[in-house]
Amino acid sequence: MIAIIDYGMGNVRSIINALYYIGYDAVITAEPQQIDDASHIILPGVGAFGDAMVNIVRRGLDEILKKQVFEKGKPFMGICLGLQLLAKCSEEHGHHNGLGWFDAEVLKFNLNGSRLKIPHMGWNEITPASDHFLFSHLKNTERTFYFVHSFHIVCHKQNDVAATCEYGINFNAAIARDNIVATQFHPEKSQDNGIQVLKNFLEWNP
């Protein structure tokens, strides 16, 4: 069973449909026992960083996830806002503290007069920074994935960067450390490559 964390603002339906498509049972939940029973945990996210953290703390999910991920070592995946929430802080609509799992901050795209539009929305190719299992067995030679975001994560430890992408600037498209992975792109909306990334995560045994 896969636990998709419910904190009131995630892109949960498309993720659970993708997991069903590749043959995995999943539950959308904020219940401690269901999260404890899960083999893998996914933190999705669409919306504002500050509101997301308020919901997570109000439901006690910050402590529940910390126990599952750091004490029990359960495989964890953040998606889009679910990646950004792992940083120490974000400048989205003010200053907001995040979960602080990574020595990182979330900044707004600054494209210095570029004609590129914000939010960054559409398909872009990523460049893996390592041979992480998350990007193995991709069917397409072009490693393109679907993005929708106006902010990006800046890691202060380069070893935490699992993939980068170019959109006016070079930004971090995925991060990873120990039993934690997270993608700025939406694997559940990225067709064959995204399905393979989700499958890799669910088969991952860190």
Half-sphere exposure at residue 35, Cβ-oriented, CA atoms within 13 angstroms: 24
- Which tokens in the block code for residue 205? 């045994």
Sheet hosting strand 151-155, strand order edge to edge: 96-97, 89-90, 104-108, 151-155
E strands present in 19-177: 26-29, 40-43, 76-79, 89-90, 96-97, 104-108, 120-128, 144-149, 151-155, 161-167, 169-177
Question: What residues are labeled active site?
Answer: 80, 186, 188
* Residues ≥6 apart with Cβ < 8 Å to 103: 88, 155, 156, 157, 160
